[in-house]
Chain A
Amino acid sequence: MYSEKVMDHFMNPRNMGEIENADGIGEVGNPVCGDIMKISLKIEDNRIVDARFKTFGCGAAIASSSMATELVKGKTLEEAWEVSNKAVAEALEGLPPIKMHCSVLAEEGIHKAINEYRIKNGLEPWEEKTPYGEHTPGDGA
């Protein structure tokens, strides 16, 4: 059902945990839907120097969080903002169609953490390019 890459990131998740005194935190998802991701970022000179996650969810959700944190580490905020859910899914060598929303959640989590950082630092939050809408109960998103 899952690619080897997904299983690898599920079994050996990278960057699991929380950053103390994180510069940006994004919590997305909903326990009703069965997945919640909490992304925390350490940001220095507009660059993500560390990224961590905690996730309640299925194998794909955990693997997507793991991969997303890997992909944004070392990137500038502008570069990290461009890491799409597709990029996460591709880096995982694909996700089953019904699990694509897990990669969407990972992208949302990163975006939310970046914007939290921007707001805290008196900057305009960036706008989501694709309107995912809120991850509400029963919306099938």
Chain B
Amino acid sequence: MEKKRLVYMDHAATTMTHSEVVRTMMPYLNERFGNPSSIYGIAHESKEAIESARQKVAKALGADAQEIYFTAGGTESDNWALKGVAFANKKKGNHIITTKIEHHAVLHTCQYLEKQGFEVTYLPVDAYGIVDLSELEKAITDQTILISVMYANNEIGTIQPIAEIGKIASEHEIYFHTDAVQAIGNIPIDVEAANIDLLSFSAHKFYGPKGIGGLYIRKGTRIDNLLHGGGQERKRRAGTENIAGIVGLGKAIELATADIDSHNLRIRAMRDRLLAGILGQIPHTRLNGHQEKRLPGNLNISFEYIEGESMLLLLDQYGICGSTGSACTSGSLEPSHVLLAIGLPHEIAHGSLRLTLGDANREEDVDCVLEVLPKVVERLRSMSPLYRPDQ
């Protein structure tokens, strides 16, 4: 086997923490360890650091700092937004609208809420993964209290018409939550302009540390607490603050949103070259998701006649990190719910490969994948009883 050089193309799974972010965090792991709830000097330092990070997040989202709450990550934020709004507004109604392509943090929370007596509509999406706005309008009833639609999809990268959805929600006076975990740093976000009431984010998707994220909650939103305990986060989210994490998140979001356009230009150029190379060199392949309305680093391609996990195992031998929507890596035997929702037959969904580019990538990574991937696909096809070379 050739010598491994890591070609990391799984930025949608997680990103490496930016070195500047790590530097900013370090003091809060040792000398500035004070509990921000205490009254002595080092406690003040911690408190100020948290508030400064909150300002940075607010600036990145076009929000007020008092509308930003830190959590343990995207999953907690999604759980809080959905359960918190559902339980606080159950007298008003018991209906929630979401989509079939949400992250499991939203889908499984909705399933839990169904068990608690709420009704949930899971909107279909078109072949590109985009929500149909007329379907959304039709689904709204006088019982609807919450609409939750992700900003951009983690698997196929499709970007939803968030501002239009926000407008519809606002016209009907329904709370609008969006899981923006994949969007931060890739799409400029303005919660005001898009009429967003709640927005989930997670630091490790934009070159920050793991275990820290947050929820934007528009002022005046009726929402119950998810975690009960001490009075942290203005009595909304109990638990001693993860100061180093919060400081890291603040730095990371500042860096990630400083110049989204030029970041995207660089990533998109590499992504497009990779896409053209793959489709040009390998027959029986197709791009999943939308051509333009997709995250700049996202590629999701199906290779007919082969299965995704075996592709990943071979790519890993060359140091290439990717992911797949095949059942075989999900712990269940069903392929990705997102790929099924856009209408892919099971066998095509099993043969999907997701490569997500980001700051770790250079042009030579694209060259490497374009050299290795055709060989990997060819090798697996030669083993496949479904493949006939003359096809």
Contacts and interface: CB of A to CB of B under 8 A. Distances in A.
Interface of A: 2, 7, 10-11, 13, 16, 27, 31-38, 54-62, 98-99, 101, 137-138, 140
Given A11-B317, A33-B333, A56-B307, A137 B385 contact: no
Given A11-B317, A58-B326, A36 B309 contact: no
Interface residues of A, dominant DSSP: mixed
Given A31-B346, A56-B307, A58-B309, A37 B385 contact: yes
Interface of B: 305-307, 309-310, 313-314, 317, 326-329, 331, 333-335, 345-347, 350, 382-386
28 contacts: A10-B310, A11-B314, A16-B382, A32-B347, A33-B333, A33-B346, A34-B326, A36-B385, A38-B385, A54-B385, A55-B384, A55-B385, A56-B305, A56-B307, A56-B384, A57-B310, A58-B307, A58-B309, A58-B310, A58-B326, A59-B310, A60-B328, A61-B310, A62-B310, A98-B333, A101-B333, A137-B346, A140-B333
Contacts of B310: 10, 57-59, 61-62
Contact of A58 (B328, B334, B385, B386): B328
Contacts of A36: 385-386
B385 A34 contact: no
Contact of A59 (B309, B327, B350, B384): B309
Contacts of A38: 385
A34 B335 contact: yes
Contact of B346 (A13, A34, A54): A34
Contacts of B329: 58
B372 to A, nearest CB: 14
Contacts of B386: 31, 36, 56
Nearest to B312: A59
A137 B346 CA distance: 9
Given A34-B333, A59-B313, A62-B383, 15 more contacts: A7-B313, A31-B347, A34-B326, A34-B335, A35-B307, A36-B386, A54-B383, A54-B385, A56-B305, A56-B306, A56-B307, A56-B383, A58-B309, A61-B310, A137-B346
A32 B335 CA distance: 9
A48 B234 CA distance: 74
